[in-house]
Amino acid sequence: MELPTPEGIKKRRIKLGLTQSELAKRAHVSQPLIARIESGDVDPRLSTIRSIITALDEMERSKIVARDLMTAPVVSLSPEETVEQAVRIMERYGFSQVPVIDNGVPIGSISESVLVQAMSGADIDKISASHVRQLMEDSFPAIAPGTDMGTISTLLETNHAVLVMETGKVVGVITKYNIMQLINK
């Protein structure tokens, strides 16, 4: 683990729009200590640095909103497309689930798991020719572009994806993969 420099701490604090007092309160240390650390006047204990970095990390996570995470434009299916067409689209884009949108309105979703269940003991040609409408599941929940990461994570615990809507239009989609990508940043 690389320890942050006094300049690095100050840059992160300023980037987050925090005052020294706000950071001190979140890190459970005094404001004068933050000032002395940032100026390089004091060599703090590791536990103090850990508290400050944890507070900065938490603030950064809370600043992430749906528009920062979403994938756009949204690849979707019409309820009248065939299951065969749906599978082609899912393969082409590498998606395991796709929203079903009818005239701009999300009405359902289709996922690999529902397709696999439908194929169990069924005539594959019949399933392939059937319409997405016949196999679709509930629509993904919809959120505003400014929805915080905590809300998004909670929704993804029980849903394949979350749609991002603005002025009544689907403008993006967020999956668990989008959240996992934050680890690499």
Q: Which fold has domain 67-184?
A: CBS-domain (3.10.580)
> In the prediction, which pLDDT does 182 show?
77
Mean of the pLDDT values across residues 158-177? 95
Least reliable range by pLDDT among 59-73, 125-139, 166-180: 59-73
- Residue 155's alpha-carbon distances to 39, 145, 147, 150, in angstroms, are 42, 14, 11, 9
The whole-angstrom separation of Cα 73 and Cα 93 is 12
**DSSP 8-state code for residue 64:** -
CATH topology for the 6-63 domain:
434 Repressor (Amino-terminal Domain) (1.10.260)
Domain boundaries, the chain: 6-63, 67-184
Task: Tell me the mean pLDDT in the region 57-80.
Answer: 90
- Tokens (6 digits) for 69: 């995470």
Structure confidence at residue 23 (pLDDT) = 94
More confident residue, 10 or 183: 10
Mean of per-residue pLDDT scores for the chain: 92
One-letter amino acid for residue 181 of the chain: Q
Q: What is the pLDDT of residues 20-34, one digit of tens each?
A: 999 999 999 999 999
Task: Specify the pLDDT at position 41.
Answer: 93
Residue 15's pLDDT band (cuts 50, 70, 90): confident
Residue 123: predicted pLDDT: 86
**Rg over CA atoms, the chain:** 23
58 pLDDT band, cuts 50/70/90, is confident
Judged against a pLDDT cut of 60, whether residue 169 lies above it is answered with yes
H helices, E strands: number in the chain: 11, 5
Task: Provide the percentage of residues in the chain whose pLDDT is more than 70.
Answer: 98
Crossing angle for the helix pair 6-15 and 31-39, nearest 10 degrees?
120
Report H helices in 79-170.
83-93, 112-119, 124-129, 132-135, 149-156
* pLDDT classification of 185: cutoffs 50, 70, 90: low
